[in-house]
Amino acid sequence: MAIRRPARLVAPLFLLVCVAAVLIVVQTTLSDDGTSPSSATATATTTTRTTSAKGTPKTYRVRSGDTLGGIAEKTDVSVDKLVELNPDVDPQSLRAGQRLRLRE
């Protein structure tokens, strides 16, 4: 049996590490939600904001782990106002990808 050289085993591992590093850099670069790269999540959902002349976003797209209180803090809209503007949304079971109205 022929002796295999260590480079034949290390080269594919090195390639996988390089691909993973590129993917991480691309994901953190495309993330425009103000988080640091160390706190970036594996989900690809992002915040969608439609702004008006006032500069206040019209909608917010729920991300994994979001709560109504957290969304209220991020968007400077009270929880009561969010519930009023989104009567069909259950505050206890927000789903990633849902869109919430922030203003009329």
pTM exceeding 0.85: no
Tokens of 32: 């425009």
CATH topology for 59-101 is: Membrane-bound Lytic Murein Transglycosylase D; Chain A (3.10.350)
Tell me, what's the pLDDT at 53?
46
- Alpha-carbon distance of 81 to 19, in angstroms, equals 45
What per-residue confidence (pLDDT) applies to 5?
79
Element (H, E) at 79: helix 79-85
| Stronger pLDDT, 25 or 55, i.e. the higher one | 25
Start-to-end CA distance of the chain, whole Å, equals: 75
- Tens digits of per-residue pLDDT, 36-94? 444 444 444 444 555 444 666 789 999 999 999 999 999 999 999 999 999 998 888 89
As a whole number of angstroms, the distance between CA 40 and CA 50 comes to 23
